[in-house]
Structure 1
Amino acid sequence: MVDGYASIPGADGRVASQLRKGVLEYCVLALLRDGPRYGVELLAELARVDVMATSQGTIYPLLSRLRRTGLADTHLRESENGPPRRYYTLTDAGRSALEEFTANWPSFRTAVDHFLTPGETT
């Protein structure tokens, strides 16, 4: 168990992968809400919850897309351990997108739970 989350069997399977793809952008925006972060730091934080663990091949294209669409901004910061690091910050548009997702998530989750609960759809 990590931070109150039980390990989910099949977290590397197709279903978990599709679910992760659907929410990963908003999880990254939520992490950026707390302050600037660099890519490896985001990967480590996501990996704290097994089902959200992802790779550099996924996170860096996502971060580039967030930057291109104006949801995140970047700046370089010197590092004590090597070359400068690119830090990502949440923009006002990113904050608005996260707020919209946060407002819609409970009803979306409830709707999915409705269909997954036996006897609920009859």
Structure 2
Amino acid sequence: MSQDIIYNAQLLKGVLPMLALALLDEQESYGYELVTRLRAAGLTSIAPGTVYPILSRLEREGQLTSRLQPSHSGPARKYYSPTGLGLDSLQEARNVWASLSHVVDATAMTSRDRAPAPELP
């Protein structure tokens, strides 16, 4: 069996900004480096064309800041890091994810283990 994990595109679309902010909070990165880090985290089939629009949107919204760094192997690289607003958004996203994952775990992941609901009189 392949180690690649297939993710629902809509679910992934909803969590990628949070994942990008979280990884950039740990270490500023340029776009392709972030793609590599996401792949290393388990999103093995994530494409650069998926990540770059998210970085652009987060920067446009003021959640990321960027700086150009000369590169010895080609054009300058654009390094991203979260702003205060981005860190606030990250914390809010983490809180929402924690609540949602609790509901999913309590409902969908254990539904076979739960006793059936009692019948109403």
* TM-score past 0.5 threshold: yes
Deviations 1:70-98 (A, max 9, x none): 11011111112111101111100000111
**Aligned partner (choices 65, 75, 80) of residue 72 of structure 2:** 80
Question: With structure 2 as the length reference, what TM-score do the two structures score?
Answer: 0.81
Query: How many residue pairs get matched?
Result: 113
Q: Contact 2:4–2:45 (CA<8 Å) still a contact in 1? A: no
* Aligned counterparts of 1:114 and 1:81: Cα–Cα separation in 2: 50
Give the RMSD, CA atoms, in angstroms. 2.1
Q: Contact 2:29–2:79 (CA<8 Å) still a contact in 1? A: yes
Question: With structure 1 as the length reference, what TM-score do the two structures score?
Answer: 0.81
Q: Contact 2:4–2:44 (CA<8 Å) still a contact in 1? A: no
Q: Which runs of 5+ in 2 are unaligned?
A: none
Following superposition, the deviation at residue 22 of structure 1 comes to 1.3
Q: Percent identity?
A: 36
Q: Which runs of 5+ in 1 are unaligned?
A: 1-5
Structure with the greater alpha carbon radius of gyration? 2
Aligned letter for 1:79? Answer: S
Aligned letter for 2:81? Answer: T
Deviations 1:58-78 (A, max 9, x none): 111111000111110111111
| Equivalent residue, structure 1, for 2:21 | 29
**Aligned partner (choices 29, 47, 54) of residue 62 of structure 1:** 54
